[in-house]
Amino acid sequence: MMAAWSGLAQILAQDPENFGIPLLAPRGGKVNLNALPGHITLEDLEPEDRPVIDPQQQMAYIPRPEIPNGEIHQKLMALGAWSFFHDAHTQKLPDPKISPAAIIVSTIQLEPFLARGNVLLKNNLEKFTKGLEHLQSLLEYQPIYLIVPDLKSDLVDQIGQAIRGRACIKAILVKYQYPLDHFAILARELNLKYDPENPVWGIRTEGVLAAETALTQGKPATTRIISLGGPAVSNPTHYEVCAGYPISQFLEGKLNCENVRLLNGGSLTGEILDEATKGIPLGYTGITVLEEPTKREMLSFTRPGADRQSYSNCFLSALRKAFPERITTSLRGEKRPCIACGYCEEICPVGIMPHLIHKLMYRDELERAEQARADRCIGCGLCSFVCPSKIDLRKEILEAQDTIQRELHSEVEEADE
C-alpha cells in the first residue's frame, strides 16, 4: 500500500509486522481508497507550508530538547523516523524495546547511482550532529561508531571537528570501496557479533537527520532525498520527495529513451519496480533507470568481446585499458549453467562460495547449503555481476536463506514448543 496525504503527521496506516510503524501523511488533503486497487491516493492537496529557510540558520536557534529516554522511542515511532533504523546483521527493523549493544552510523553509500552521504550532509552538518546527540541519549555506555570515508576532504575534516570531545562517538575510517559500507561487514570488522538479545543497530545519514527532525523539531519524517540516475536519465540528480509521490510524474521529462527498466535502488542490488507500484514508497533510496534493448544480439557468446568490460580475462577487452561502456539490461546471450570459474568466490566480500550454494540448492540439500554459510550473504550482488553465465546468484542465495529458515529452523521451533 503506497503512501498518500490526508493531514500533516496523521497516521494513514500501520505495519503491524514491523512493530506498528506508521505510514504518515506529509501534507493535508482528501484520501481516496478506491482510485487505485491496493493504494491510498490523494486529492485536493493543501499547499506546502514548509518555510524557505537556510538549513544552517534554521538550526541555529532550535535547541535540543531534553526528552525522557522512554519517550524517545515512542516519538521516533510516532513520527516515522524508526523506519530508518536497521539491525546491522539481519537488515530487519530492530525491536525498539531492546537496547542495542552499539549503533553504527554510516555516512557513506557506495551502491552505484544512489545518493551519497556527502550530498545529504553538505548543508546539514549541524543538524546531523544534533541527531547524533539524540542517538547518544538512547544509550548508556554503548558506543556509536561513526563510519566516514578514508578520504582527504573538507567535509571529512568538518565531521571530525563536529564530534570532537564526544567520547562515546568513535570515528572509523573506511576504504571507499563497495560493499564496505554494508552494516553486516562493518559489524564484523568491528568485532560486533550477532546476538538477538543485544543487537547492533545501523542507521545512515538520512536516518540521523530524520531522527533529529522528529526529536528536535517534533516534525514527521515524511520526506527523504532520493537519487534519480542511470544511463537512461537525461540529467541525473537528487530530489526531496514525499512518500507516495506518483512515479509517473516524478519521471516525466527526465528520460532519454522510451524502453527502460526501473530499479528500486542501485544497479547492483536494485529490485525491478513492479508496474503495480504507482507511488514512491517510504523506503526508497533512489531510482535507477536502465535502457531496455528491444533487439536480441544473435550468437552473442561467439563474439570475442573487444568492446565489453568483463571481470574475466578471456575477453579481448582485457588487452585494453579501462574504457567507458553504456550500462543496459542486456545479458548479451542466454543464461548458461555454472562453469565453476570461481569468480563469484573470488569477489565475495564475506568469503562464501556462491557457486557451491547454487549447486546445493539445485539439489535441495538445505543442510549442506546452511553449512556452506548461506546466511552470511549480504546481498551485495557482486557474484551476479561477475558471473559469465549470467546466473542471478544474489537472488538465489537470498531465497536460500528464506528457505533454510522456513523449512529447517521453523520445524525445530515447532518441535521445541
Confidence of residue 413 (pLDDT cuts 50, 70, 90): low
Mean pLDDT to the nearest integer, 403-415:
73
Confidence of residue 333 (pLDDT cuts 50, 70, 90): low
Express each pLDDT in 81-103 by its tens digit.
898 999 999 989 999 888 899 99
Confidence of residue 295 (pLDDT cuts 50, 70, 90): confident
Cβ neighbours, 10 Å, residue 211: 27
Q: Compute and round to an integer the Cα radius of gyration of the chain.
A: 23
% of the chain at pLDDT higher than 90 = 38
* pLDDT reading at 142 higher than 70: yes
CA distances for 317 relative to 304, 320, 330, angstroms: 8, 5, 18
* pLDDT reading at 305 higher than 80: no
pLDDT of residue 70: 66
Mean pLDDT to the nearest integer, 313-334:
77
Average pLDDT of every residue of the chain: 83
* pLDDT reading at 308 higher than 90: no
The three-state (H, E, C) secondary structure of the chain, written as one string: CCCCCCCCCCEEEEEHHHCCEEEECCCCCEEECCCCCCCCEEECCCCCCCCCCCHHHHHHCCCCCCCCHHHHHHHHHHCCHHHHCEECCCCCCCCCCCCCCEEEEECCCCCCCCCCHHHHHCCCHHHHHHHHHHHHHCCCCCCEEEEEECCCCHHHHHHHHHCCCCCCEEEEEECCCCCCCCHHHHHHHCCCCCCCCCCEEEEEHHHHHHHHHHHHCCCCCCEEEEEEECCCECCCEEEEEECCCEHHHHHCCCECCCCEEEEECCCCCCEECCCCCCECCCCCCEEEEEECCCCCCCCHHHCCCCCCCCCCCCCHHHHCCCCCCCCECCCCCCCCCCCCCCHHHHHCCCCCCHHHHHHHHHCCCHHHHHHCCHHHCCCCCHHHHHCCCCCCHHHHHHHHHHHHHHHHHHHHHHHHC
Mean pLDDT to the nearest integer, 279-299:
81
pLDDT of residue 312: 82
Mean pLDDT to the nearest integer, 345-366:
94
User: Higher model confidence: residue 145 or residue 330?
Assistant: 145
Mean pLDDT to the nearest integer, 295-317:
74
> Minimum mean pLDDT among 44-48, 224-228, 264-268, 273-277: which range?
44-48
* pLDDT reading at 159 higher than 70: yes
Express each pLDDT in 172-192 by its tens digit.
999 989 999 999 999 999 999
* pLDDT reading at 233 higher than 80: yes
Express each pLDDT in 369-399 by its tens digit.
999 999 999 999 999 999 988 899 999 999 9
* pLDDT reading at 51 higher than 60: no
pLDDT of residue 4: 38
Q: Which residue in the block uniquely carries the three cell numbers 500533516?
A: 8
CA–CA dist 332, 242 (Å, integer): 38
CA–CA dist 33, 21 (Å, integer): 20
CA–CA dist 276, 279 (Å, integer): 9
Mean pLDDT to the nearest integer, 342-368:
94
Contact 349, 179 (CB under 8 A): yes
CA–CA dist 92, 201 (Å, integer): 10
